[in-house]
Amino acid sequence: MEKEGFWGQQWQATGAKLPPELNSGSAASDQLPQCFLNLNWKQPMAHDADFESALSSLVSSPCSNPPASADGSSIGELIGRLGGICNSNDISASSPYPSADASCYSTPLNSPPKLNLSVMDHRQQGRGGPPMPVNRVPGPQLGPFSAEPGFEDGAARLSCFAGRSSGSFAGQFGFLDPGNLSEASRSQCPKAGFGSCVGVGQSRSERPAHLEMKMRPKIDGSSTAEESEVGNGPEESSLSDRMTAEASSLRGITDNNSGKWKTATKRKGRRAPLSSSATNPPANMTEEESSDAKRCKTADRKGGAKNEVAKPKTEKNGHPGHREGKDNDHQPPEPPKDYIHVRARRGQATDAHSLAERVRREKISKRMKFLQDLVPGCNKVTGKAVMLDEIINYVQSLQRQIEFLSMKLATLNPQTDVSMENLLRKDIYQSRGPMPQPVFPAEIGTVLSYAHQPQTIALQSIVTSGLEAQFSLNSLQSSLRQSQSLQHATTDAYTDASSQLGGLWEDDLQNVAQTGFGQNHGQTHTGHLKIEL
Amino acid sequence: MEPKSCSGDGNPSRNLHPSKPLMAANFLRCLSRIQQTATNSSVGSRSRRIRRAAYASMAYSAGHRRAWSWALLRKLRCRRVRPVILPRRPRIARPQVVIEIDRAEVLRKLVPGGTGMDYCRLLEETADYIRCLATQVRLMQTVTDSISS
């Protein structure tokens, strides 16, 4: 895209480190915000959404940067970008983004219809240095900004952006009253955006305060309303996404301002230029848009969850133009952070990662729930770490129990036949409850087939108990069918067993051996078995 | 997840492994064999054999579809040979892990065959392994109770 390249050029220098970060999507540090800025700039232009994203990036990046250092430059950049965005349509390609700040400022001023830049301008300029750390940058740069409209557009975008992102943006910027912004932004994106944008430049903490004070009055002004509106459509989605990632403090601010911005944005032309500029950014945005739907929703849900996750989502929202059903009221649940984790939108890669990550998380949580049921006493435990501890303890205890029981068994040295018989019976009736029999044939079959040993007595006992158990079941056949593979072997085994047993056993046993497992010779055997037990 | 074993209404065998009877049969078979063939060996060695038999029957009844049973069987079959070192999948550090003990690693060591799995699969295998272990423990308890009584 022209815009991308246009912005990219500028950013390349500044965002040298960005690409790797962007690609990696690592969360972050100060660098991320910058990346965000850079990346957003490249993409956003295409539509309002883009614009918003750019704005958000602008906002976010400065916010994340340490307040002290980045204020001046960030603000300047922010302003410049705003201007750039505003004038994006006009500028479209070229103007570029001069040295990051100055150019931005210059370009935007030209286009936009109503620009609250003037507000910014003179605020910035009037203040000079101290009131706003950024002043130094904006000062000269604001000159170009004198074209309010452009700035307004930018501001509007930012407001929209902030509004959508529900306050995260606002939180970040700390630009306006957090409470206000959040309300406004939530409702409509645009209004606060502007305020938040500006605030963002400053970094949420003190600096934004300066801007806040200054901007607020301006923002409240009518002009801003228009701008805020402008950014509504496309920006909302993108911004909202971005915003979710960002601090929620902005939310308040944006909300507050959104109302005011509305009027400003009404001014009509804003959208056009914004959209045109938004349209520029092209490919990246489209990609994002595709994932926007998901991102939007996921961003909302997980806005507060993780920065890393949220970022890609928000970025993905670069929807080009209209947010059809996007939820603009994303309220980033996560509290405002000192820095914003913004991940550069890099097409599908990030998208897939985020999606896969989400799916993976859901899978893991599902399994943890299942484990919770298995491990006794884990119902009240919450949290993965504690849960894992419990699981580990339980597994260790089970393994220790097995060792202990094996030692015990070794020491007991029981009589084989007796033990077998008893074991089988008890095991069947104690552990399996009312339906041991159906499985018994299989078990017996297994025992007989595997333990084809000359343990006559043991076999006899097993067979006896097994047969007795069988007799009482009418569903033997079904269970036998299940263990058909064993049946053949067991039949043979039974034959052998029966032959071995000789006449010691009841007639039933022989019958069973002859007929196989599928015979229920009567319920009496069950009673017989029980008595034996 | 494996289907839960058919349990009676009043039978709290929800957590029992579905192939408990098979497991019981296997274990009893091994037990009887051990008791027959190793009557003169020491308690320690016999207990070790019994324990191995327990694990073997557990793994055998679980089948080859579970990674842990597969790894366990391999380990048991090649117990005289050096254990096979499975290719380790790079562990993804989770935030909590960075600061504290890596519980996932501990779990991997506990569950047979867990070293080459990702976290998601590890949890699944752990669940099945726990179920089988619980079943085996119950089985052995029943056996000892019946023997001692």
The shortest C-alpha distance from A382 to chain B (Å) reads 14
Structure tokens at A123: 């605020």
Q: Which of A309, A393, A409 is the best substitution to test chain B (most B C-beta atoms within 10 A)? A: A409
Tokens of A364: 């893991």
**Which pLDDT band, with edges at 50, 70 and 90, does A445 fall under?**
very low
Identify the pLDDT of residue A296: 43
Chain A CB contacts of B33 under 8 Å are 451, 453
Q: Does B33 touch chain A (CB under 8 A)?
A: yes
A388 touches chain B (CB under 8 A): yes
pLDDT at site A380: 79
Interface residue A404 vs chain B (CB under 8 A): no
pLDDT value at residue A96: 45
Phi/psi of residue B84, each to 5°? -75, 135
- Residue type at position A267: R
User: Quick check: A402 contacting B, CB < 8 Å?
Assistant: yes
B67: helix, coil or strand? helix
Across chain A, mean pLDDT equals 50
Cα(A192)–Cα(A200) distance, integer angstroms: 11
Return the top range by mean pLDDT from A204-208, A300-304, B20-24, B87-91. B20-24
Lowest-confidence region among A112-116, A357-361, B47-51, B135-139 = A112-116
Q: Which of A151-155, A493-497, B20-24: highest mean pLDDT? A: B20-24
Contacts B133 to A, Cβ<8 Å: 395, 398-399, 402
Chain B environment of A406 (Cβ under 8 Å): 47-48, 50-51, 53-54, 140
Degrees to nearest 5, angle at CA A269 with A267 and A271: 95
Does A353 score more than 80 pLDDT? yes
pLDDT band of residue A171 (cuts 50, 70, 90) is very low
| Residue A431 contacts B where some CB pair is shorter than 8 Å | yes
Percent of chain A with pLDDT over 90: 0
Strand stretches in A307-446, DSSP E: none
Mutation for A interface: B27, B47, B92, B136, most A CBs within 10 A:
B47
- What's residue A161's pLDDT? 45
Q: Report d(CA B62, CA B76) in Å as an integer.
A: 14
B50 touching chain A per CB within 8 A: yes
CA contacts within 13 A on the Cβ side of B34: 28
pLDDT 10s digits, A70-92: 454 555 555 555 555 555 555 44
Confidence at residue A76, expressed as pLDDT on a 0 to 100 scale:
53
pLDDT at A75: 55
Residue type, A8: G
**What per-residue confidence (pLDDT) applies to A416?**
52
Cβ pair B120:A385 closer than 8 A = no
Q: Which residues pair with A471 in a beta bridge?
A: none
pLDDT of residue A495 exceeding 60, the answer is no
A24 CB-contact burial (10 Å; exposed 0-12 / middle 13-18 / buried 19+): middle
Q: How far is CA A249 from CA A297, A339, A525, in A?
A: 20, 12, 76
The residue among B145, B144, B139 whose CA lies nearest residue B58 is B139
| Chain position carrying tokens 């064999």 | B33
> Is residue B138 predicted with pLDDT exceeding 70?
yes
pTM: 0.37
* A441-480 residues touching B, CB cutoff 8 A: 442-444, 446-447, 450-451, 453, 455, 458
Q: How many residues does chain B have?
A: 149
Q: What is the Rg, in whole angstroms, of the alpha carbon atoms belonging to chain B?
A: 17
Using the predicted structure, report yes or no on whether residue A365 has a pLDDT greater than 80.
yes
Chain B residues whose beta carbon lies within 8 Å of the beta carbon of residue A392: 103, 106-107, 110
The letter for the amino acid at A197 is C
Q: How many CB atoms lie within 10 A of CB B88?
A: 10
Residues A34-48: tens digit of each pLDDT: 444 444 444 444 455
- What local confidence, expressed as pLDDT, does residue A73 receive? 56
Judged by CB atoms closer than 8 Å, whether chains meet at A409 and B39 is answered as no
At B24 the pLDDT is 74
The Cα–Cα gap between A439 and B22 comes to 9
Give chain B positions within 8 Å (CB) of A422.
146-147, 149
A439 has pLDDT over 70: no
Q: Assess whether pLDDT exceeds 60 at residue A448.
A: no
Measured in angstroms, the CA of A437 and the nearest CA of chain B are apart by 10
* Contact with chain B for residue A222, Cβ under 8 A: no
Q: A197 or A380: which carries more pLDDT confidence?
A: A380
From B5's Cα to the closest Cα of chain A, the distance in A is 9
With 50 as the cut, is the pLDDT of residue B119 above it?
yes
Query: CA dihedral defined by A376, A381, A384, A390, rounded to 10 degrees?
Result: -40
pLDDT at A397: 92
8 Å CB contact between A86 and A154:
yes
Residue A323 has pLDDT above 70, yes or no: no
pLDDT tens for each residue of A247-267: 444 444 444 444 454 444 444
The answer on pLDDT for B60 being more than 50 is yes
Q: Are A275 and A221 in contact (CB under 8 A)?
A: no
- With an 8 Å Cβ cutoff, are B43 and A422 in contact? no
DSSP code per residue over A157-207: HHHHHHHHTTTHHHHHHT-S-HHHHHHHHHH-SHHHHHHHHHHHHH-SSHH
For residue A503, how far is the Cα from the chain centroid?
71
Q: What is the tens place of the pLDDT at every residue in B63-115?
A: 777 777 777 777 777 765 555 566 666 666 655 555 567 778 888 888 888 77
- Is B16 an 8 Å CB contact of chain A? yes
Going by pLDDT thresholds of 50, 70 and 90, the confidence category of residue B52 is confident
Measure the CA–CA gap between B49 and A291, rounded to whole angstroms. Answer: 58
Sign of CA dihedral A490, A493, A495, A499: negative
Give strand pairing partners of A512: none
Q: How many CA atoms lie within 13 A of A335 on its CB side?
A: 1
User: Regarding predicted confidence, which is higher, A223 or B30?
Assistant: B30
- Alpha-carbon distances, residue A418 vs A423, A452, B63 (angstroms): 8, 18, 29
User: What is the distance between the alpha carbons of residues A374 and A533, in angstroms, rounded to a whole number?
Assistant: 31
Tokens representing residue A190 in the block: 């645009």
Q: Out of A374, A389, A409, whose CB is closest to B50?
A: A409
B65 min Cα distance to partner chain A (Å): 18
Q: pLDDT > 70: what percent of chain A?
A: 11
| pLDDT confidence of residue A347 | 54
SS3 assignment, position A46: strand
Q: Express each pLDDT in A269-307 by its tens digit.
A: 444 444 444 444 444 444 444 444 444 444 444 443 444
Q: Which residue of B has its CA nearest to A439?
A: B21
Is the pLDDT at A420 greater than 50? The verdict is: yes
In sequence order, the β-bridge partners of residue A279 are A46
**Structural contact between residues A171 and A133, judged by C-beta atoms closer than 8 angstroms:** no
Helices (H), A427-523: 439-450, 456-471, 476-482, 484-501, 507-515
A376 pLDDT higher than 50: yes
- Residue pair A285/A47 in contact by the 8 Å Cβ criterion: yes
Q: Write down the pLDDT at residue A497.
A: 43
Report the distance separating Cα A184 and Cα A299, nearest Å: 19
Nearest to A420 among B32, B49, B130 (CB): B32
pLDDT at A346: 55
